[in-house]
Amino acid sequence: MRNYYIAGNWKMHKTRSEAADLARALVSSLKDGKHKYLVAPSFTALETVGALVKGTNIRLGAQNMAAEEQGAHTGEVSVLQLKDLGVQTVILGHSERRHVYKEDDALINRKVKLALKHGLEAILCIGELLEEREAGKAEQVCETQTVKGLEGVAASDLANIVIAYEPVWAIGTGKTATPEDADAIHAYVRKVVGKLYGADAAEKIIIQYGGSVKPENASLLMAKENIDGALVGGAALKAETFVPIALFA
């Protein structure tokens, strides 16, 4: 039985004091929550938030990391630095990294393997653009991103892999894939994992949905057989919208 996993990606929002206020509210509100939880603040707030969620049922996540352990990489943040701050999970391959900052599958794959090497959980984001969906290529795009993102990843490391399906056209737009559309892609990606690692691995892997998840639609999405949680963007920035998603029944 897969456990629901609700994650909040705060993106480039919140000063340290604002992040601390939100973290305190979530620690208080989610302390009796039955699901798995994560918050991913900006790099500048990781230490602040990390101190507040340490020892609670909320994991500390980072929104990205460099593909190298250390070195002359101006402006990058390394896996060693993240671990030093208590980061447990890193979000990789988010559509904004792919399409705004031009990260390709090979680079994302290097990051995934580096995170796993250092014992971090990796949330691998996949998802198609609107034109790709309209061209009937949604499954093909998601399969390619999954296969290339997991290239060289051992079956023994899959316990530290989460996949997040985020249709790019639904992120921050207010548009949401219908629960049926989302579940169909989740089911397809699960089959892809099955082809790579076997049926047992496919059954166990957590696949989150991301893309305008709100308190109003969370329960409908989570009710679907292949949707195992959410990677929440805008609604994660306020306790009053994130908590109802995190505590959905």
- Taking only the tens place, the pLDDT of each residue in 60-87 is 999 999 999 999 999 999 999 999 999 9
Would you say 146 and 192 are in contact if contact means Cβ atoms under 8 Å apart?
A: yes
Angstrom distance (rounded) from CA 225 to CA 85: 36
Question: Cα–chain-centroid distance for residue 41?
Answer: 13
pLDDT band at 170 (very low <50, low <70, confident <90, very high): confident
pTM score > 0.85 for this model?
Answer: yes
How does DSSP assign 141-210, residue by residue?
A: HHHHHHHHHTTT--GGGGGGEEEEE--GGGSSSS----HHHHHHHHHHHHHHHHHHH-HHHHHH-EEEE-
Would you say 228 and 208 are in contact if contact means Cβ atoms under 8 Å apart?
A: yes
- Sign of the torsion formed by the C-alpha atoms of 207, 36, 233 and 93: negative
DSSP 213: -
Which is catalytic among the residues 35, 94, 96, 186? 94
Residue 9's H or E segment, with its range, is strand 5-9
Would you say 205 and 159 are in contact if contact means Cβ atoms under 8 Å apart?
A: no
- Taking only the tens place, the pLDDT of each residue in 18-31 is 999 999 999 999 99
- Taking only the tens place, the pLDDT of each residue in 140-158 is 999 999 999 999 999 999 9
Residue 62's H or E segment, with its range, is strand 58-62
- Token match 């790099």: residue? 43
Would you say 143 and 193 are in contact if contact means Cβ atoms under 8 Å apart?
A: no
Q: Who contacts 141 (Cβ-Cβ below 8 Å, separation ≥6)? A: 126, 127, 128, 129, 132
pLDDT band at 176 (very low <50, low <70, confident <90, very high): confident
- Taking only the tens place, the pLDDT of each residue in 187-208 is 999 999 999 999 999 999 999 9
Residue 164's H or E segment, with its range, is strand 161-165
> CATH fold of 5-246, please?
TIM Barrel (3.20.20)
Would you say 117 and 157 are in contact if contact means Cβ atoms under 8 Å apart?
A: no
SS3 string, 16-34, reads: HHHHHHHHHHHHHHHCCCC
DSSP 190: H
Name the amino acid, one letter, at 153.
Answer: V
DSSP 59: E
* Token digits of residue 86: 């208590």
Q: Domain limits of the chain?
A: 5-246
pLDDT band at 173 (very low <50, low <70, confident <90, very high): confident
- Sign of the torsion formed by the C-alpha atoms of 44, 47, 53 and 57: positive
Which is catalytic among the residues 103, 128, 166, 186? 166
Residue 139's H or E segment, with its range, is helix 138-149
Angstrom distance (rounded) from CA 226 to CA 234: 23
Q: Is 94 a catalytic residue?
A: yes
pLDDT of residue 29: 98
Q: Is 118 a catalytic residue?
A: no
